[in-house]
Amino acid sequence: MGQFVNLTASDGFTFPAYVAQPTGTPKGGLVVLQEIFGVNSHIRSVADGYAADGYFVVAPTTFHRVQAGVELGYTEADMSTGFGLKTAVEGLPAPGVMNDIQAAIDHAAQAGKVGILGYCWGGLLTWRSACQLQGLSAAVPFYGGGMTAGDDAARKPQVPVLAHFGDQDHWIPLDTVEAFRQAQPGVEVQVYAANHGFNCDQRGSYDAAAAQLARERTLAFLSRHVG
């Protein structure tokens, strides 16, 4: 089990991050970025799981600049609240929350090389981090909403990227995933027979087989590029 610690971004903003540590010497650091539901029990369990696999895991509270202590479930009301918070964070003056993610990367770097992964909105932030932040060795966005369209799809990653998508995801149409694959030949794109949120065992869209395969591929990818 991990615990929350306070981190400070380069602009002086202090925010909590959930930190989970392995039992032995870390293989490296890993930043885990939340969905639009906060660093909730699911994200904490994800962090604990990757810590059990040997990584020093840091999960920053990326809503903290607009609201503290957010921990939502997966009801329609929770989704509406989370979407509003995400919109508020996205509306912050640049670099906004990217400063907090950089601080999380810097904290994770005490364990060696650092990878980053995230889900949904966190997947989009993972993609942006791969393209513009420092100190990363690998990035793994899971169904990053928005990363296959518009300006985000045209970004250029600075590190190896493994991107997971579901072919039944109505938030990320498959034709945009295929266009992204063509536009980003250096990115490893994996598509699963699954819906948006397939990794989350607290959601109706959970797909155990897709989640397991994506996790196995993620661990192999991290082993190659982080340790």
Q: DSSP assignment of 127-166, as one string?
A: HHHHHH-SS-SEEEEES-TTTTSHHHHT---SS-BEEEEE
Of 120, 164, 200, 225, the catalytic one is 120
pLDDT at 110: 98
Chunked mean pLDDT (size 10), the chain, 227 residues: 95 98 97 98 97 98 98 96 98 97 98 98 98 98 95 97 96 96 97 94 91 98 98
d(CA 219, CA 227): 10
The confidence score (pLDDT) of residue 212 equals 97
Among the options 100, 196, 207, 225, which is catalytic? 196
* pLDDT for res 204: 87
Exactly one of 100, 106, 169, 207 is catalytic; name it.
Answer: 169
pLDDT at 1: 74
* Sequence-separated (6 or more) residues with CB below 8 Å from residue 18: 2, 3, 4, 39, 43, 44, 47, 57, 58, 59, 61
Burial per residue of 1-22, b for 16 or more beta-carbon CB atoms within 10 angstroms, e otherwise: ebeeeebebeeeeebbbbbbbb
- Annotation says 196 is catalytic: yes
Nearest of 31, 59, 30, 55 to residue 43 by alpha carbon: 59
Instruction: Let me know if 169 is a catalytic residue.
Output: yes
Taking the C-alpha atoms of residue 200 and residue 216, their distance in angstroms, rounded to an integer, is 15
